Structure 1
Amino acid sequence: MAYVDWKIRTKQIGTCSCDYGCPCEFNARPTRLPCEGVMAMEITEGYFDKIRLDGLRIAGVYRWPGPVHEGKGIWWSIIDKVATDEQAEALFTIFGGKEQEPTTGFSIYASTIETEPEPLRATIGFEWDLQGRRGRFVVEDVLAAEIEPILNPVTGKPHLSAIRLHEGFEFREAEMASATFWSKGALEQNHAKRYAAISYVTYGPFGIVPEESHPRRSA
């Protein structure tokens, strides 16, 4: 199938209500139900056909009653307020998996979603420090997440770790961190010291672009 030519290079932070490591990454069941969380990403460079997407941000709030692959999920999209209508439509097309192979990331997630509240256009604050295993993102009165290193329970020092997936569709490698986050409204949630993944990933119509998707990190 022929797809629209597009590519986005992203800095991203994903969180969920699971313990550190997230069983989904190992084809195991969630550590608690429902499975829920918040995420945000910044497109450092990107395009959809002739539409430039550089610098735009998106965020999401989500919940699945069971493991993600069992479906019946809810996904609430938040699009950068500064995006034009044309840019916003391009983002909805990309993240809705409409111009991507069915067996790749955005298409896979889209297939698990049953309910989508009306998208929100808002200012998305976003900070990302891959080497420091830190970050934060916020949409005023809607959601917020604070990311910090996982701490060794004995020494109190940062416990540095990463997940590397040979065939991951969300990321191929991500730094693990600790997330404290909340959201309001229909998907209200509040979690402390849960799973967080910080990653640098490039996507296109056929999924992850591997050579451009390795975290820039140091020990």
Structure 2
Amino acid sequence: MARIDWYIEGPAYGNCNCGYACPCQFEEDPTQGNCRGFEVMEITDGHFGKVDLTGVKVAILYAWPGPIYKGEGEMQLIIDESASVDQRKALETVLTGGETDEEATHWWVFRAMSPTLHDTIYAPIGMDIDIEARTAKVSIGNVLSSEGRPIKPPHGDGAHRVRIDMPNGIEFSIAEIGSASTTASAAIKLDLKDSYGQWHFMKHGPSGVVH
């Protein structure tokens, strides 16, 4: 059956409970033995069929009791309250792996590994992120607050810069890594302090990352 054509791109930022060198990116078990975190992005160019998605902001909260690949996880979507009904339906489809090739995007994997999908939240999403500088400030209604910064070396001042390069990744090609802290009071609670922060420019379509 033919898929609905869709495309989403834009700056993205995320924070999880792993150490700065998130083992999940290297096919190892997460730092704390479990995985929980969130991601947020602003769609600077996007569509779902004839529905224009440009300008919409979205976020995803997620949690697994162990490594992601063992499943038993939960997810919750947050879509900016300014999105239209059609935009909301389109994004709920894409962000849960719909109209996507099997295992092609991290959204598809997250949903496949999460039998629990909480009700979508519609709230104002404010985000100010700088990928190159590894800085971020995110506020989502009274549900979530997050800040990101460069990693500071323990031996002095300055900012440590490191990237993860994944030519065949299902989430990104290159991501800047920093330090991030997040609190969230949605169905999935977060209380993260100075843990793995990730910045990248996301490009996704039905077949995965657009390189």
Sort the TM-score into its range (normalised by shorter chain).
Answer: over 0.9
Query: What letter is aligned with 2:74?
Result: I
Distance in structure 1 (CA, Å) of the matches to 2:193 and 2:173: 25
Corresponding position of 2:62? 62
2:210 equivalent to 1:209? yes
1:93: Cα distance to partner? 1.0
Corresponding position of 1:3? 3
1:170: Cα distance to partner? 0.8
Verify the 8 A CA contact 2:76 2:187 in the aligned structure 1.
no
1:14: Cα distance to partner? 1.4
1:131: Cα distance to partner? 1.3
2:44 equivalent to 1:35? no
Corresponding position of 1:159? 160
1:159: Cα distance to partner? 0.1
Corresponding position of 1:134? 135
Query: What letter is aligned with 1:164?
Result: D
Q: Show structure 2 runs of 5+ residues with no match.
A: none
Distance in structure 2 (CA, Å) of the matches to 1:48 and 1:206: 14
Q: Deviations over 1:96-152 (max 9, x none)?
A: 111010021122221011111111110001111011110121112211110000011
Distance in structure 2 (CA, Å) of the matches to 1:38 and 1:93: 18
State the superposition RMSD in angstroms: 1.1
Distance in structure 2 (CA, Å) of the matches to 1:39 and 1:107: 15
Corresponding position of 1:216? none
Corresponding position of 1:74? 74
1:185: Cα distance to partner? 3.9
Q: Deviations over 1:150-175 (max 9, x none)?
A: 01111221001100012110111100
Query: What letter is aligned with 2:162?
Result: S
Distance in structure 2 (CA, Å) of the matches to 1:21 and 1:65: 20
TM-score (norm 2): 0.96
Query: What letter is aligned with 2:191?
Result: N
Distance in structure 1 (CA, Å) of the matches to 2:70 and 2:137: 30
Q: Secondary structure at the match of 1:193?
A: strand
Query: What letter is aligned with 2:29?
Result: R
Query: What letter is aligned with 1:197?
Result: Q
Alignment of 1:111-150 (within 5 A): 111-150=112-151
2:75 equivalent to 1:101? no
Q: Show structure 1 runs of 5+ residues with no match.
A: 211-219
Moved over 3 A (4+): none
